[in-house]
Homo-oligomer: A and B are copies of this chain.
Amino acid sequence: MADAVPESAPAAPTARRTVRLKEVAARAGVSINTVSRAIRAPATVRPELRRHIEAVLDELDYVPNRLAGGLASAHTGVVGVVVTSLLYSEFAAMIEGLQGGLARGGLSTMLANSHYRPEEELRLVRTMLSWRPAAMALIGIDHHPRVPELLLHAGIPVVELWETGDVAIDSVVGMDHAGVGRAQAGHLLEQGYRRIAFVGGVRPHDHRAQRRRDGCVALLAERGCEPLVMTAAKGGTADLGETLLDRLLQKAPDIDGIVCNSDVIAFGVLRGLIRRGRRVPEQVGVIGFGDNEAAACMQPPLSTMRPPRAEIGQAAAAAVLTRIEGGPAIRRVFTAELIARSSTAREAASAGTGTATSSIREIKS
C-alpha cells in the first residue's frame, strides 16, 4: 500500500535555508528597509533601484514571512471562515463566491469546518482569532453563546452567512429560511395539493433546516391544513428520503403533497413513490430545496427552490471589504427562486419537460 519515495523527498525538513529580507538587501546593496518598501510601496523607491531590487527578489526566490509582517504591522489580510459542513455541496458555491470576492480584495481565506457542532465552532473561532484575521465569516446566526462576545471583543468585521434573523453580530447576508418553507408549501397549495407533509433530515444544530420546517408548518396551519412532519435527526440522503416516505405513507396513506428539506431527500422520495406505484405529479406533488444539478434530470423533473448561493457569498465578501474600509455593517436578505418543474404540475400533468422557471418570488417582506 505505502512505500517510501526516496528521491525528490527531503530526508528531513531541509537545514533551514530561507531567504530573508536581509539576504535580499545584502545582495542588492541596499538596506532591509528599502527592500521592504520596494515590495509594499514601489512608488517610494527610485524606479531604477526598484527594478534592480525586483530582479534580486526574483533571483533569490524570496517568499515573504507573513508571520513577521503581520506581527509588525498588526494586519494580516486573512479572513477566517467557519462553515458547518463542506459536504452535500450545500455551501460550496457560497464559499466559492465568498472566497472569490475576498481574493479580489486582496484577502486570503482560512476555512474550517465545525460539523454542526457548537463546541467545535467555539474552538475554531478561537483558533482563527489567534491568527489575528482581518475579518471573520460564519455560517448561520445561531452560535455557541460565547462566540458573539469573542468576536465582538476581537474588534474585527464579522459577517454571518446563509441565514438571517433579528440579531446580528455585525453584518449578515443570507436568506429567510422560514420563508423558503412557506414558499414550498404555498406552491403545493397553489397547485391544488391539500394533504401536505414536510419530510427531511434535520440535524440537531441545523437551524436553517428547522426554520424551513417551521415555515412550512406555519403556512399550512394558517391555511387550515393539518401539518404533517416526518423528520430524522441526521443529514439528508436519498435513502433517508425513501425511508421517511415509507413511515409517512404508513401514518398518512392519503398524503398528496410532500415538501422536502433538500433535493437529495426529494430524490429518494420520488424513487420511493414510483416504486410504490404512486404517480407524480398526478397523485402526489413533490418539491425540494437546493436546486441540485440532478433535479432537472429526474423523472419527473423535480420542482425546487434555488438559493442564490454565489450571490450570497459575493455579497458577504463585499460586506467584509466595505467594513474593513470603515464602512457600515450591512444586512442583506436574498430571495430564493421557485423553480417549478413537472413534479408539482398537477394541472398540466401532460405538459412535457417542465424545465420552465417561474418568475422570481418574493419570499418575505
Known: A89-B89, A294-B267, A298-B297. A155 touches B13 (CB 8 A): yes
- Distance between A332 CB and nearest chain B CB, rounded to angstroms: 5
- A10 contact from B3, B152, B267, Cβ within 8 A: B152
Residues of B within 8 A of A1 (CB): 332
Q: Which of B92, B274, B353 contacts A92 (CB 8 A)?
A: B92
Please, which residue of chain B has its CB at the minimum distance from the CB of A75?
B13
A362 at the interface (CB under 8 A from B): no
Interface flag for A356 (CB, 8 Å): no
Interface flag for A12 (CB, 8 Å): yes
A130: interface (CB < 8 Å): yes
Residues 295-311 of chain A, each 1 if its beta carbon lies under 8 Å from chain B, else 0: 01111000000000000
Residue among B12, B169, B353 making CB contact with A8, cutoff 8 Å: B169
Name A1-28 residues within 8 Å CB distance of B. Answer: 1-5, 8-10, 12-14, 16-17
Are the CB atoms of B330 and A2 closer together than 8 Å?
yes
A130: nearest residue on chain B (CB-CB)?
A: B66
Question: If the complex has contacts A130-B65, A296-B238, A353-B275, are A170 and B110 also in contact, measured as CB distance less than 8 A?
Answer: no
- Which residues in B have their C-beta under 8 angstroms from that of A275? 353
Q: Which of A71-120 contact B (CB under 8 A)?
A: 71, 76, 78, 86-89, 92-93, 95-96, 99-100, 108-113
The answer to whether B96 and A86 have CB atoms under 8 Å apart is: yes
In the assembled complex, A293 has its CB within 8 A of some CB on chain B: yes
B108 and A63 contact, CB distance less than 8 A = no
Cα distance A111–B108 in the bound complex, in angstroms: 9
Chain B residue with the shortest CB-CB distance to A293:
B264
- Whether a CB of chain B sits under 8 angstroms from the CB of A271 is yes
Q: Is the CB of B294 within 8 A of A5?
A: no
Confirm or deny: A150 has a beta carbon within 8 angstroms of a beta carbon on chain B. Answer: yes
Query: How far apart are A276's CB and chain B's nearest CB, in angstroms?
Result: 12
Chain B residue, CB-CB nearest to A157? B13
User: Judging by beta carbons under 8 Å apart, are A4 and B271 in contact?
Assistant: no
For A5, give its contact among B87, B111, B155, B171 (CB under 8 Å): B171
Chain B, residue nearest A134 (CB)? B13
- A140 proximal to B (CB < 8 A): no
Q: A252-280, CB under 8 A of B: which get 1 and which 0?
A: 00000000000110011011001100000
Within 8 A of B (CB), among A287-345: 292-294, 296-299, 326, 328-332
Q: Contact check: which of B2, B8, B270 meets A170 at CB < 8 Å?
A: B8
For window 115-141 of chain A, which residues contact chain B by CB distance below 8 Å? 126-127, 129-132
- Does any Cβ of B come within 8 Å of A67's Cβ? yes
B331–A63 contact, CB under 8 A? no
> Could you tell me the distance between the alpha carbons of A258 and B29 in the complex, rounded to whole angstroms?
64
Question: A interface vs B, CB < 8 Å?
Answer: 1-5, 8-10, 12-14, 16-17, 61, 63-68, 70-71, 76, 78, 86-89, 92-93, 95-96, 99-100, 108-113, 126-127, 129-132, 149-150, 152-157, 167-172, 237-238, 263-264, 267-268, 270-271, 274-275, 292-294, 296-299, 326, 328-332, 353
Give the 6 A-B residue pairs with the shortest CB-CB distance, closest first. A14-B155, A89-B89, A294-B294, A267-B297, A9-B329, A111-B111
The 10 listed contacts between A and B (C-beta, < 8 Å) are: A5-B328, A9-B171, A63-B150, A78-B110, A88-B89, A99-B113, A110-B111, A268-B297, A274-B299, A298-B298
